[in-house]
Structure 1
Amino acid sequence: MHDIGIYGLGVMGENLALRAHDVGLSVAVFNRTKDKAFALAARVGNPRFEAFAEPAAFVASLRRPRLLLLMVTAGPATDAAFEAVLPFLEEGDVLVDGGNAHYEDTLRREARARQARIAYVGMGISGGELGARTGPALMPGGDAEAYTRIASRLEALAARLPDGRPAVAYMGKSAAGHYVKMVHNGIEYVFLQLLAEAYDALRNVYGYASVELADAFARANQGPWESYLIGLVRHILTVPDPETSQPLVEQILDVAEGKGTGLWTAEEALRLGVGGSTFAAAVHARNLSRERDLRLACAEACGEPWHRPEALPAYETWRDALHAAVLIAYAQGFALLRRASETYDFAVDLANVAQVWQSGAIVRIRFLANLERNLRRSPETSHPLLFPEIWEFVRERENALRSFAAWAVRTGMPAPAHLAALADLDGLRRRRLPANLIQAARDAFGAHTYRRIDREGSFHTSWPDPEGREIPRPRS
């Protein structure tokens, strides 16, 4: 009998299956195109790695309690796989969806599985193709008791933190696992946009050559800021194009695609009324990149926006601005997770999130260890910037972020994610915002009422009309 069944052998499914075999688990695999499953099993050449042609035999080959991991494209393909295996599962078995499902789909499938007395776990997976093969970050949510039944097998699959702990932990109830992965991807969108803006400044304004660019990012990738993504950019900048011998990145069309998870995160922040300006900025920036024909037409008709800056900021200003903005993006992500946990009753363990993201995950960065330590010590703290240690990271770099943002504006270099991070930082610390004017206007034109600062209740005022109009009296 096999320890784990993996349904779906795309890039992630295949590499997770091989990872499971590497760590000593006995693996059953199934794929809609059966030849792929049998070819993979033949390549492994071990009876503890077996392919199956039919869902019934595939499910029956798994030891109880069964762990069956769906690794298919989110959406209709997941529904089809779900329905294909459900009739053969039994009470006590655990069906895990490892795709990038929208959390609302996870809620729906969880309810369907509950009717069949099957435990359903929505699990975010991060690490990409290489991470799946060498150890990913796993974010399971759902039935807590079901998670305990499969925890040891998931821990074997997961990456390891420097202290030896696995990059897997229980995220929370219901659709918490997929919600956490959605926010992970939203942070990833912002991080990449911030890196693109930092690259733009060095390459197109500072005029750095490729070697200088790589060195700048290498120096920024140290201490608490050591991260997968900064390191990745550093390596990208060193790769030559085999056809032109120029940096390959310079030959890539400036159009950024996406699969929608960044948009989901921005939408959730708007829906729940929590600060998510950096998520929206990153999504809008990708949208603008896809308007390439329009951009070229506007550049031709209106001229490019470059203005000669008074002076170039120091390297340290560039670096510290990037670091501060990155931390603010993570803070927005954790604030969104907290609000969603309260609103949807997910009971998300934020310290576990910070733990899991420290290894294997695309968004891994060393300061998450500091954040985890603070969250375990004071889990009720409502925002990461309220931890003195985390705030100190930002405070020391606030002036750099402000200087870089102002320089970008004067230069004509779009830096929407840096500007959004700064606006959020400033807005969060204002005791009084000008929203009172907005509420007065809403009451004036729509009688929406307002609240006062000196007493409870809702109030309405008959404001003078700017055009001198009066509400006509009813005719007698």
Structure 2
Amino acid sequence: MIIIVTGVSGSGKTTLGSLLAKKLRLPFFDADDFHPPANIQKMSMGIPLTDQDRLPWLEHLADSMLQWENSGGGILACSALRENYRETLQVVPKIIWLHLKGSKELLHERMNNREGHYMKPGLLDSQLETWEEPEYGMHLDVSKTPETLLEEVMQLDEINACESHFGVIGMGVMGKSLALNLAENGIPTAVYNRHVPGKEEKIASTFATTNQEFPLLKGFDNLEAFIGSLAKPRKILLMIPAGAVIDQQIQQLEPMLEKGDIIIDGGNSFFEDSTRRFRALSEKELHYIPMGVSGGEEGARKGPSMMPGGNKEAYDIIAPYLKKIAAKDASGKACVSFIGPDGSGHFIKMVHNSIEYAEMQVLAETVHLMKYGLKLSYPEISKIMKSWGTEGLKSYLLDITVEILTVKEGKNFLLDLILDKAEQKGTGGWSLTTALKYHVPYSPLSEAVTARLLSSQKEDREELAGLYSHRFGAFAEDKVILLEKLKNAYTLTRIINHEVGFNLMHQVSEQENWNLDFSEISRIWTNGCIIRSSLMENMTGLFKENSSLLKTKAIKTKVKELRFDLAYIIGLGLQHAYALPVMSAAANYLFGRITSDSSANLIQAQRDFFGAHTFQRKEDPTGGYYHSDWKN
């Protein structure tokens, strides 16, 4: 939507334009700001501009309007006194023209009351003489209050019937939050939710009605009407459960869509399913963008991290919209980037969630050791962890843990009232099966999944705890020294968690020829997503010249410094009956990864002994395979 507010100086273009911009959540632009210095100097001296003066200014405005149109629209306050000026600005197909008119006396009074403006009151006569009355658009009487004029404009059919630039299907928590984010950022947005009698009725229309402060938001309970409301090429964001539901929704949409329309899957679909859908829809000349979205409800509403894959041409069409609603990194750049072909966008979201699982688990292990081993209270643990955030360990998950530890319900801490059964939605398990498929070691992150599975067996755990009289032991060591070692163990485990996840991305990228950019992936994960942290910010630079964190100079120094503290804490914890799955697996992964002479030679000997599977010899540079008659 492009709205141009015209009129001579003093008519209130800026006032009305600003009110409209706020109401419609669109950016406001004042044409006066686009004048070159020479024009401003002439007007400051009371010298009227010539058509030759105005032409470069109008052409600059026209070029800018094309950019605004591609990113959702805007409101422009511009005198546009003559019809040929307005024709120069008619570069987009749909412009809503608002023409402000008033008596010479009123306009002159307003100009005299303005302070610091370069347009001199003496130029008003020249502007009124130049003004050519347009026969189109909405004509407004400036003697009315700006608020009254705003109400009149908002009744225009062109505004209320404008096509939506984006459509969202699925009014769950994430779908609603993203829809409001789009509308708040000036993007006309249509929403639709399925109709299920007695269960889901008028979800979308009710949602739009209850959010009337967003006039660019429209709700539809009929799929055909929803599709018909969208500007072409249609851009449809699916925020519905992964699996067969996605295929069913695509099947419903296909007959209503046209060549070049874009379907964006913003859910947590399995990347292999996304690759299949991408290729099938490409054959039908429809675009399919598998897009990971991270940040939860708050991130979706205020700015998520987004990971779109699929087709670069289609991404370029939706990129201006995504950049508007995305979180911003430290330099102000949007946390969204084209990831790569096929289902790569969903693939890296899957890995993101896997790292998230491990990060949550290592925090749980750390708090557990503090509570039972060091006998610290929740407020004490919260205070210690908060200080860690100022010592290079800041992360979103650490921050929320600090808050969780202090929340009380009555006299009890809420954490102690929560049943210790962790649930999951599947992405962690998908990462593990993918790692196995591509032969990539993944133990620390897979242990986080296993820990959740074990926790879910609450009744069985309670029975076995009674049988074994299991109790956590308290640590006798110096608390100050132990806290430093525990912080170091936590620090190194986090580094290894990220190394494991990014190593999976690296190996799959090479095998699938995706050419993933790990520095850019790290950058879009510095804000908006759940695993955002100071470590991720550092990784943006580290991955510019390296494919592995363990091969960077900075991380190598950290590993050498912290590895023995990690081993110490694991040993201490195990001696006192604490399960430390992610910490233990991280240490095993690290020592296994940096060991030149492993125990695997015995495994190969055993395999050859019982199955004649053969083995390679150290001294053979050709890599040939041998078999031995072990019984002789």
Partner of 1:147: 315
Q: Secondary structure at the match of 1:69?
A: strand
Q: Secondary structure at the match of 1:25?
A: coil
Number of residue-to-residue matches in the alignment: 460
Partner of 1:169: 337
- Residue 600 of structure 2 is aligned to residue 435 of structure 1: yes
Q: Secondary structure at the match of 1:121?
A: strand
Aligned partners of 2:339, 2:272: CA distance in 1, in Å? 16
Deviations 1:141-185 (A, max 9, x none): 111121111111111111111210111111111100000000000
Match of 2:626 among 459, 464, 472: 459
Deviations 1:248-268 (A, max 9, x none): 001111111111111111222
- Letter aligned with residue 451 of structure 2: A
Partner of 1:249: 415
- Letter aligned with residue 58 of structure 1: F
Q: Is the 8 A contact 2:448 2:581 kept in 1?
A: yes
Q: Secondary structure at the match of 1:396?
A: helix
Q: Is the 8 A contact 1:161 1:359 kept in 2?
A: yes
Partner of 1:39: 206
- Letter aligned with residue 297 of structure 1: E
Deviates more, 1:134-143 or 1:381-390: 381-390
- Residue 597 of structure 2 is aligned to residue 414 of structure 1: no
Q: Secondary structure at the match of 2:236?
A: strand
Q: Is the 8 A contact 1:228 1:364 kept in 2?
A: yes
- Letter aligned with residue 383 of structure 1: S
Q: What's the TM-score, normalizing by structure 2? A: 0.71
- Residue 169 of structure 2 is aligned to residue 7 of structure 1: yes
- Letter aligned with residue 3 of structure 1: H
The 1:165/1:261 distance shift into structure 2, 3 A limit, reads same
Q: Is the 8 A contact 2:355 2:498 kept in 1?
A: yes
Q: Secondary structure at the match of 2:543?
A: helix
TM superposition shift of 1:223: 4.3
Partner of 1:470: none
Partner of 1:191: 359
Q: Is the 8 A contact 2:279 2:342 kept in 1?
A: no
Aligned partners of 1:42, 1:275: CA distance in 2, in Å? 51
- Letter aligned with residue 439 of structure 2: G
TM superposition shift of 1:187: 0.4
Q: Secondary structure at the match of 2:288?
A: strand
Partner of 1:295: 461
Q: Is the 8 A contact 1:173 1:347 kept in 2?
A: no
Partner of 1:474: none
Aligned partners of 1:330, 1:233: CA distance in 2, in Å? 19
Q: Secondary structure at the match of 2:210?
A: helix
Aligned partners of 1:165, 1:115: CA distance in 2, in Å? 34
Aligned partners of 1:287, 1:384: CA distance in 2, in Å? 29
Match of 2:408 among 240, 253, 261: 240
Aligned partners of 2:503, 2:496: CA distance in 1, in Å? 10
- Residue 517 of structure 2 is aligned to residue 355 of structure 1: no
Q: Is the 8 A contact 2:372 2:473 kept in 1?
A: no
Deviations 1:405-424 (A, max 9, x none): 12112211111100111111
Partner of 1:267: 433
TM superposition shift of 1:382: 3.5
Which structure 2 segments of 5+ residues have no match? Answer: 1-162, 196-200
Partner of 2:564: 399
Q: Is the 8 A contact 2:169 2:240 kept in 1?
A: yes
TM superposition shift of 1:275: 2.1
Aligned partners of 1:279, 1:252: CA distance in 2, in Å? 24
Q: Secondary structure at the match of 1:323?
A: helix
Q: Secondary structure at the match of 1:321?
A: helix
Q: Secondary structure at the match of 2:218?
A: strand
Aligned partners of 1:274, 1:391: CA distance in 2, in Å? 21
Aligned partners of 1:351, 1:87: CA distance in 2, in Å? 40
TM superposition shift of 1:327: 1.2
Query: What are the residue-to-residue correspondences of 1:21-420 with 2, within 5 Å?
Result: 21-33=183-195, 35-45=202-212, 46-242=214-410, 245-307=411-473, 309-312=475-478, 313-376=481-544, 378=545, 381-420=546-585
Deviates more, 1:307-316 or 1:286-295: 307-316
Partner of 1:18: 180
TM superposition shift of 1:434: 0.9
Q: What's the TM-score, normalizing by structure 1? A: 0.94
- Letter aligned with residue 37 of structure 1: A
Partner of 2:92: none
Q: Secondary structure at the match of 2:293?
A: strand
- Letter aligned with residue 618 of structure 2: I
Aligned partners of 1:37, 1:159: CA distance in 2, in Å? 25
Which structure 1 segments of 5+ residues have no match? Answer: 466-476
Aligned partners of 2:394, 2:572: CA distance in 1, in Å? 26
- Letter aligned with residue 391 of structure 1: K
Aligned partners of 2:330, 2:577: CA distance in 1, in Å? 42
Deviates more, 1:429-438 or 1:74-83: 74-83
Aligned partners of 1:153, 1:196: CA distance in 2, in Å? 38
- Letter aligned with residue 171 of structure 2: L
TM superposition shift of 1:308: 5.2
The 1:24/1:391 distance shift into structure 2, 3 A limit, reads farther
Aligned partners of 1:392, 1:226: CA distance in 2, in Å? 20
Aligned partners of 1:440, 1:306: CA distance in 2, in Å? 41
- Letter aligned with residue 293 of structure 2: I
The 1:450/1:305 distance shift into structure 2, 3 A limit, reads farther
Q: Is the 8 A contact 1:175 1:346 kept in 2?
A: no
CA RMSD of the aligned region, Å?
1.5
- Letter aligned with residue 457 of structure 2: E
Q: Secondary structure at the match of 1:419?
A: helix
Deviates more, 1:102-111 or 1:172-181: 102-111
Deviations 1:328-350 (A, max 9, x none): 10011100000111122332221
- Letter aligned with residue 417 of structure 2: Q
Aligned partners of 1:396, 1:365: CA distance in 2, in Å? 21
Deviates more, 1:432-441 or 1:31-40: 31-40
TM superposition shift of 1:305: 4.8
Aligned partners of 2:285, 2:225: CA distance in 1, in Å? 20
Aligned partners of 2:489, 2:243: CA distance in 1, in Å? 38
Aligned partners of 1:37, 1:307: CA distance in 2, in Å? 54
